[in-house]
Amino acid sequence: MTQCSIRLFQMDAVVGDFSGNLQKLARAAEKAQADGIVILIAPELAVTGYPPEDLLLRPALIEKLEVAETKLCEISEGLTLCVGLPTVASEMLRDCDRGSLSNKPASLHNSLVVYQCGQRLTAYHKNSLPNYQVFDERRYFVAGTEPMVCEIGGIRIGFLVCEDVWVAEIVEATCALGVDCIIVLNASPFAEHKISERYWHLRDRATNNRIPIAYVNLVGGQDELIFDGGSFAVNRQGEIIAQANFFVEEMLDIIWDGEDLTESRIAAFPSKDWMLYEALVTGIRDYFAKTGFKKAVLGLSGGIDSALTLVCAVDALGAENVNAVMMPYLYTADISVADARRQAEILGCEFSMVSIEPMVREFMETLGPFFEGHPIDATEENIQSRCRGVLLMALSNKTGALVLTTGNKSEMAVGYATLYGDMAGGFAVLKDVWKTRVYDLARFINRGSETIPERVISRPPSAELAPEQEDSDNLPPYDRLDQILSLYIESDQSPQAIIDSGFDSKEVKQICRLVDINEYKRRQSAVGPRVTARGFGRDRRYPIASRWSF
């Protein structure tokens, strides 16, 4: 009975950092050899990071890939290394032989390459190239057409890359080659509910084909995408036999015992609130680490959005690297100032307070002649917000701290935000978090201790830009608003379909209209972590100038 040890390397790969990613692979391979591991598996596009986007169109990429392949051969001395990277398509190689490469981009495969004992053994090219939501792979890659089996250590392994395992025909074609197990290399980004979808899907693939499957995933933040890791393996019965932790780079070992994949290590399955919170913290931590920023500054208003943003920032960067700035005006309640100061003290971060009253007064005096004869409206409120934005951006310029914006997805959806005001900044932490989930996370954070002052959670939400102002003056209650927005934005339901499901006709049409007319704001907003099935970013691209009507 042939036994074989397999290690899944749940890796945090930095896009474009060939040298750093290869060094990680080399260290992992060295440790694997020392531990007696036969096969080391790294995730999809681990060499380039995912997604490399238009870096794949750069002519210089080919030379970097050639250097990387040489290094990967060296790394594989003493074991078998299976790793994801782009490879040049065979038709492109023929063009190169004819001397017609010129400066045109290469035709590339999204490949899984097997290296063994210092040599390149074989390669599998991803068959199913996703082109939906955040994925745009057909822009960059040529699809493979054939399944592949590779015998390693006496095991006939079928290899797949990410989307391939979601296509029943591709899995069945691979199994038809007579494989003992399937290993899938993934770069699967986090979204709420995605974890359970993966489990159920692989369980079905395993049981339908009577084949064990191992799933290795990327981990870490890359711009707006968050990779949660959570690599795992299921046996022939679809039972989870090994499970890695989430949001950490680590190794997961499994054993082929001659008949099935076996192991006993299964990490605890976390709550949905923990998963969402860790996704946000990972997004901040890795965005800063991978862009070179060390410190953050944010406006702390005494409201729940900025309170949650501050907790995430302190958790990600350390209290010593976060500056919370309270910027009161005439309409700022005393309890807002008190709660903001108290939270900063609880967390141990720097707290500054700068009144914007003199600045707003100067603006109003300067603009007075132009405003004469016009009623007071949102213009005056926006001036307050923009004064705060100017202050934060000036602090950013002077100190090198990145401004974190604090608006949530509900507000961004309906345009309840000010361009060049509270939208001014470098990273929008809650950009894809519904307001109802903001409250959920605040309560989750406060379990067992009061990290966020309880009054911040229990008070009616307000922008405090006008006397006695509350969000409910302009918007429906957030539990109802978020349901309507989710149906319209994430499920693409028409306003009439939403109305037919039981919502008020006037309210639905007003909300959907606000979503449509505020596309120009969202197009100018800072990047932020995508955590829902459809965020405002890569996977939602609507025209600004449009006469579309619902």
Lowest mean pLDDT among 96-100, 304-308, 395-399: 96-100
Q: Which residues of 88-108 are buried (b: 16+ CB within 10 A; e: fewer)?
A: bbeebeebeeeeebeeeebeb
Q: What is the pTM of this model?
A: 0.93
pLDDT band at 336 (very low <50, low <70, confident <90, very high): very high
pLDDT recorded at residue 106: 64
Q: In what order do the strands lie in the sheet with 232-234?
A: 149-152, 155-161, 181-186, 213-217, 232-234, 240-243
**How far is Cα of residue 39 from the mean position of the Cα atoms in its chain?**
29
Q: Measure the CA–CA gap between 172 and 177, rounded to whole angstroms.
A: 9
Calculate helix-pair angle for 435-445, 272-291, nearest 10 degrees.
100
Q: Taking 80 as the threshold, does the pLDDT of residue 267 lie above it?
A: no
pLDDT band at 95 (very low <50, low <70, confident <90, very high): very low
Q: Taking 80 as the threshold, does the pLDDT of residue 385 lie above it?
A: yes
Q: Measure the CA–CA gap between 9 and 218, rounded to whole angstroms.
A: 9
474-506 pLDDT tens trace? 789 999 999 999 999 999 999 999 999 999 999
Residue 62 token pair? 């080919």
User: Among 539, 546, 498, 490, which residue's Cα sits nearest to residue 518?
Assistant: 546
Q: What are the residue numbers of the active site?
A: 44, 126, 162
pLDDT band at 96 (very low <50, low <70, confident <90, very high): very low
**Pairing mode, if any, of strands 181-186 and 80-88?**
unpaired
User: Among 321, 313, 295, 316, which residue's Cα sits nearest to residue 401?
Assistant: 295
392-424 pLDDT tens trace? 999 999 999 999 999 999 999 999 999 999 999
**Backbone phi, then psi, for 314, in 5-degree steps?**
-65, -40
Q: Measure the CA–CA gap between 358 and 127, rounded to whole angstroms.
A: 62
pLDDT recorded at residue 548: 81
Calculate helix-pair angle for 478-485, 435-445, nearest 10 degrees.
120
User: Which burial class, exposed, middle or buried, applies to 390 when counting CB atoms under 10 A from its CB (0-12, 13-18, 19+)?
Assistant: middle
Q: Taking 80 as the threshold, does the pLDDT of residue 299 lie above it?
A: yes
Lowest mean pLDDT among 251-255, 333-337, 342-346, 535-539: 535-539
**How far is Cα of residue 9 from the mean position of the Cα atoms in its chain?**
20
pLDDT recorded at residue 105: 57
Q: Taking 90 as the threshold, does the pLDDT of residue 550 lie above it?
A: no
Q: Taking 80 as the threshold, does the pLDDT of residue 104 lie above it?
A: no
Q: What number of H helices and E strands is found in the chain?
A: 17, 20
Close Cβ partners of 70 (under 8 Å, ≥ 6 residues apart): none
Cβ neighbours around 53 below 10 Å, total: 15
First to last CA, the chain: 64
Q: What stretches of 292-408 show up as alpha helix (H) in DSSP?
A: 304-317, 334-347, 357-371, 378-399
Domain with CATH 3.60.110.10 in the chain: 4-262
Domain with CATH 3.40.50.620 in the chain: 275-472+519-523
User: Among 312, 525, 291, 315, which residue's Cα sits nearest to residue 431?
Assistant: 525
Q: Which amino acid is at 78?
A: G
Overall size of the chain counted in residues: 550
pLDDT band at 94 (very low <50, low <70, confident <90, very high): very low
User: Among 425, 437, 366, 414, which residue's Cα sits nearest to residue 391?
Assistant: 425
Per DSSP (E only), the strands in 18-117 are 39-41, 80-88, 108-116
User: Which burial class, exposed, middle or buried, applies to 134 when counting CB atoms under 10 A from its CB (0-12, 13-18, 19+)?
Assistant: middle
Considering only the top CATH level, what class is 275-472+519-523? alpha beta
Q: Taking 50 as the threshold, does the pLDDT of residue 358 lie above it?
A: yes
CATH number among 3.60.110.10, 3.40.718.10, 3.40.50.620, 3.30.870.10, domain 4-262: 3.60.110.10
Q: Which amino acid is at 398?
A: K
520-540 pLDDT tens trace? 999 999 999 999 989 998 888
171-222 pLDDT tens trace? 999 999 999 999 999 999 999 989 999 999 999 999 999 999 999 999 999 9
Residue 18 token pair? 């060939």
User: What single-letter DSSP state applies at residue 544?
Assistant: S
